[in-house]
Structures are given as C-alpha cells and as structure tokens.
Structure 1
Amino acid sequence: MARRLLSSAPLLFLVSALTFVLVSLVPGDPARTIVGQHATAEQYAAVRSQLGLDDSLPAQYWHWMAHALHGDLGSSLFSGEAVTAVLNARLPVSLSLIVAGTLVSGILGVSLGVLTARRGGFLVRIVDGLSLVGLAVPAFWFALVLIAVLAVKLRWFPVTGYVPLTEDPVQWARCLVLPVVSLSLGTVAMIAKQTRDSVLDTLGRDFVRVMQANGFSRRSILYRHVLRNAALPVVTVLGVVLISLLATAVFVETVFAMPGLGLLTQQATIQHDIPVIQGAVLYITVLVVVVNLLVDLTYRQLDPRVRTS
C-alpha cells in the first residue's frame, strides 16, 4: 500500500504538468477577457503582468507547483477567490452524485447479476439488451428525456439545481434522483453482466461440485462461497465504473445545472481560468488514486493471496 501511495506522486505531477500544457494551447486570453476589447494596451499589459502571464510556461508551472506543495492552489483569475475554497464548496455536490451513482449501480447490478445467474432465461436477454442501450445512449441525452418526462410533464422531481444535505435531506435526495438514474443506466447492466459471468464461472469449479455432492444447499453454496470467490472481477468493474462516473458527471452536472466540479471545470475552461482548472484536475486525480487504493484494500480482504504478494 505504501508503494502505491509513493507511485501516485509521479502520477499527480504528470497529470498536473500535462494539464498545464494543454490548457495553454486552448484558444483564449484571460487578460483580454478581464479587461475587455476596448481596454488600452497599457491596461492589458498591466493585467497580464499582474496575472503572471508574461512569464514563460515552465516558469508559470513552477510557480504554481511551488505553491501547490504548500497547499496553496492560487486564486481564480476572474473572481479572485481562493481555488481551494471554490473547489471545496463544489466537491460535496460531485461526491454526492458519484457515490450515489456507484451505490445504485453496484446494488442493482450485483442483484440482477446474481438473479440472472440463478434463473437465466428471459432475464438474461433483458440485461443484455439494457447493456446495449446503456452503451449506445449518451447519459446527457437520457438525462434530457428524464427531465422532459418526469420533471417537466409529470413534475415528480425538480428540473435543475441542488439542495445541500444539511439544509433539507428530502430535497437533497429528490435533486439526485434524475441525475443518478442518468448516470446509472449503462453501468447497472455492465455490472450485472460481469456479476453473472463471474458467478456462472465460479459455479462450474470443482469445489462447488464437491459441496453439492456433500449435500450443501444451492442457496448456501451461492451466497456463502460462490459470491466471495466471484467478487474480485466485480470489484474491478465497480472501480472502473466509479472512475468513469467522474467523467460522465461533467455532462450530467451541466444538464441539471448542478454546481459540482464538472460544471466548474467546464466554466473555467471557457474562461481560461488556469488556476481553477489545475485545481479541479488535481482534485479529480486524487479521487482516482483514492478509488484505486480502495479497490486494492478490497482485494486484500477478499483474497488472502493478495495480502502476501
């Protein structure tokens, strides 16, 4: 585990450096956006100097990195707010969406996978069909359909926005329903297919036949022994799903106007607000590292052989 943490440091450095370079290639000039098109050359030059945009790209990145190592991610070029304060205010929104989407995908996906492994038949075709639909239909398009039907026409859920959990838990849950359903459409079927295949593969192993010959009930074999042995591939898929939701959440937050990291990153990219973009990418990269660490810890709990490797 310590080695994984140490190996994450170069990853954070590489991602931040690459992001800095890519953002610099995006057309746009934050100094010109701030002063406007009718500002004088002196005003424009003063703002560029104040923002540090006159320095070379390596010098700008080194300056950012030196402050980031001390926990200072700088200030927004437009609002002047500290980047950490802006990101910390948006983080609970994204975490609520991603964690809820992962839980819904995991619970429904594993349940459907076990059910189809036990019974097969028509349920298998339904899950396979949902998988194709989930992979073919973009999450943002499905989100628009849900808004049109369940929010605008039936008025069961709010159209857009977000209410913090601490203010009103009921409204918080209602605000998350449609975004979470949009995120989970394809991932539920994906997890169900992986669970079904893994359970069926485990059911065909020799130790299952021995237990059946010794009179163990099918229910006991499935829930006490097979699921544990079939869990490793499912945990891997859950980790991949959680990371993929980080990217998909950008589009869902935009559709539902949820003030999360995804929507903030999109707005900062349009404005060429480099400190906010750098900070948001850093936060997202840390989340990916944490997910990978959680997957490793789960492996160690499920398979003793991993603990000694």
Structure 2
Amino acid sequence: MIFYIFRRLTAGLVLALVILLIVFMLISNSFEDTARAILGQSATPEATADLMEERGWTRPIVVQYAEWLALAVQGDLGQSVFTSLSVLPEVLSRLAVTLSLIVPALLLTAVLSVLLGVWAASRGGAVDRIAQLISVAGHVMPGLLIAIALVVVFGVQLGWLPATGYVRFGDDPVGWARSLIMPVIVLVIPGVANMAAHVRGKMIDELNKDYVRTLRSRGLSPRKVVLKYALRNAGSPALTVMSLEFIQMFGAALVIENVFALPGFGSYAFNASLQGDIPVILGIAVFGVVLVTVVHLATDIVNGWLNPKARVH
C-alpha cells in the first residue's frame, strides 16, 4: 500500500508540473497585451517593449518558468500587476469562500445520491422510475436558470434569503449559512442527478451478482445485504464519480459566484482573466492544479484500500 501511495503521489506531482508548464506557456502569449493594459491605450510599442524587458517577459519561457516555480515552492506567488497586492493571501481568502460553498454541496450531494440510488435500485418499480425522473430533471435544468429562479423567488419576491452577497463566518455564522443556501442548492441539483444515476446503476449490478443471491439464501436480511455488502462493493466507483463531481463543482463555481456576487475563487479567476493579471492567473492555476491532484490522489488511495485489485494498475 505504501508503494502504491508513493507511485500515485509521484505521478500526480509530475502531472501537476507539466500542466503548470503548459499554462505558463499559454499565458506567455498574452505578456504583450498585459503590458499594454498596464501602460494604457496610448502606450507606444517602444514603451511596451521596455516594460516587458523590465519585467523579464522577453526571456526564454523555460527560464521564466523555472524561476517562477522556484519562488512558488517557497510560497511566493508574486504580486498583482494591477493592485500590487500579494497573490498568495488573496488566493487563499478566495479559495476559503469557494470551499465553504463546494464542501457542503458535495457532502449533501453524496448523501442524497446514495440514498436515492440505493432506494431506487433496491425497491425497483415505481420507486425506480421516480428516481430516474428526478435524475433526468436535474440533468436538463441549466444551473444558471436554477440560480436566477432561486434569486427571483426566494431572494426578491419572498425575501427569505439574501439575493446576493457573502457574509463571513466569523462576522455572522447564521448570515454566512443564509448567504450560501441558494448557491449550494444550485450545485447540488445537477450533482445529485449525475451521481445518483451512477450509484443506482452500480447497485443494480451488485444486487444481481451471485454472492448477493448466496447471502439472501442464507437468511440475511435485505437491508444488511444492501447496506453492508452491495453498497461497499459499489463504493469504489461512486468515489470516483464523487471526485469528478468535485471538479465539476469547482468549475461551476465560476458562474455561480458571479451570479450570487460571492468573492470566491471563481469570480477572482474570472476578473483576473479579463484583466490579463498574469501573477494572479498563475497563482490560481497553482491552487487549481494542486487541489485537483490532491482530490484524485485521495480517491485513488481510498479506492486502493477498498479494492486491493486496484493497486496493481
């Protein structure tokens, strides 16, 4: 198991470095545009070239990447070229907002998906059809439309929840929870639709296997067979789907945070991309890649623990 973890960790580290190099190379094409944005519309080509030379943007890409990576490993992600604020604390504060949105959404999605998927697979009939209808409805409804509908109904017309804005937990825990209810719902609906369908399908496969028939023939209760044996064997694929759902939610936060005016990771990335703020974009890329790599690594480790056969791959 230790060798398996080491192998996965090494592969994840190499992949993260390669992805960051690709991101750096892609961003290098916008160095000149960023220099013009800093100097203003009236900037001359000579002034733009001087600024690029001053900031070291004319040097070979590999050299720039190596120097940036050396500083990034030490926790120095530079400063925003427009606000002069240090990138690291800004990204961390924004990431905390996004995780406070994604983590409860992911946990709620997992619980509801397992309940709905197991319920549909074990009961069948009308119950299964209802579960499939719920799953299809969640797939076809666009997240942006759901967000706008929630804002109009619960934020504007009824006034039960704040339409937009974010309250920090330390300032008002109740206000913090109220500001996240609607964004979390928007993430949960498509998440449950996707994950519940996978849980249902895998549970049906497990319940039709010979070992389940054997357990039933020995007099074990249906609940024990479903929860103790079939659900455990279906857990490994469900964890993989859950890790993918986390990444999808991370991407969906870009839209959701702008709709609900949340000062999170997604809105910060969106604004930095519009401005061409290179240090901020690179800092966002670092945390995005590391977070995705850690999630995949954790999923592989848990799958390896649940299913020893997975360790040989």
TM-score over 0.5 for the pair = yes
C-alpha distance in structure 2 between counterparts of 1:237 and 1:291, whole Å:
12
How well do the aligned residues superpose, as a CA RMSD in angstroms? 2.2
- Partner of 2:162, secondary structure, is coil
Once the 2 structures are TM-superposed, how far is the Cα of residue 117 of structure 1 from its aligned partner?
Answer: 1.5
User: Does the alignment pair 1:84 with 2:88?
Assistant: yes
Other-structure match for 2:153: 149
Q: 1:1-309, aligned counterparts within 5 Å?
A: 1-26=5-30, 29-38=33-42, 44=48, 47-306=51-310
> SS in structure 1 opposite 2:151?
helix
CA–CA separation in structure 2 for the residues paired with 1:213 and 1:113: 24
Give the drift of 1:80. 1.1
CA distance in 1, matches of 2:185, 2:60: 45
**Which deviates further from its counterpart, 182-191 or 270-279?**
182-191
Equivalent AA in structure 2 for residue 3 of structure 1: R
Q: State the shift of 1:297 in Å.
A: 2.5
Q: Distance in 2 between matches of 1:174 and 1:126?
A: 30
CA positional deviation for 1:236: 1.3
What code does the residue aligned with 2:66 have? W
Q: Per the alignment, in what secondary structure is the counterpart of residue 83 of structure 2?
A: coil
Q: Do the aligned partners of residues 105 and 147 (structure 1) sit closer, same or farther apart at CA in structure 2, a change above 3 Å counting?
A: same
Residues in 1 aligned to 2:48 and 2:28: alpha-carbon distance in whole angstroms: 18
The DSSP-based 3-state class of the residue aligned with 1:29 is helix
Q: Is the CA contact 1:101–1:183 (under 8 Å) kept in the aligned structure 2?
A: yes
* Contact 1:74 1:82 survives alignment (8 Å): yes
TM-score, normalised to structure 1, is 0.91
Q: Any idea what SS the aligned residue of 1:228 has?
A: helix
Give 1:40 shift.
6.7
Task: Tell whether the 8 Å contact from 2:110 to 2:192 is kept in structure 1 after alignment.
Answer: yes
With over 3 angstroms needed to count, the CA separation of the structure-2 counterparts of 1:55 and 1:202, relative to structure 1, is same
Q: Once the two structures are superposed, what CA deviation does each residue of 1:95-136 show, in whole Å capped at 9, x if it has no partner?
A: 111111111110111111111112223333333233333333
1:127–1:189 contact (8 Å) kept in structure 2 = no
d(CA) in 2 for partners of 1:27, 1:177: 40
Deviations 1:189-214 (A, max 9, x none): 22111111111211111121122112
Structure 2: gaps of 5 or more residues: none
Are 2:139 and 2:193, in contact at CA under 8 Å, matched by a contact in 1?
Answer: no
Residue deviations 1:166-200 (CA, integer Å, cap 9, x gap): 22221111111111111111110221111111112
- Stretches of structure 1 that go unaligned for 5 or more consecutive residues are none
| Structure 2 CA distance for partners of 1:41 and 1:208, relative to 1, 3 Å | closer
Range 246-255 or range 165-174, more displaced? 165-174
Distance across 2 between alignment mates of 1:13 and 1:50:
26
Q: Normalised by the size of structure 2, how large is the TM-score?
A: 0.90
- Tell me, in whole angstroms, the C-alpha distance in 2 between the residues paired with 1:255 and 1:228: 38
Taking the aligned partners of 1:256 and 1:70, their CA distance within structure 2 comes to 34
- Tell me how far apart the structure 2 counterparts of residues 42 and 226 of structure 1 sit (CA, whole Å): 69
Give the drift of 1:42: 7.0
Of stretches 180-189 and 25-34 in structure 1, the one that deviates more from structure 2 is 25-34
Aligned length: 309
Distance 1:61 1:267 in 2: 23
**Aligned letter for 1:160?**
T
Q: Alpha-carbon deviation of 1:283?
A: 0.2
Task: Report the alpha carbon displacement of residue 287 of structure 1 after superposing the two structures with TM.
Answer: 0.7
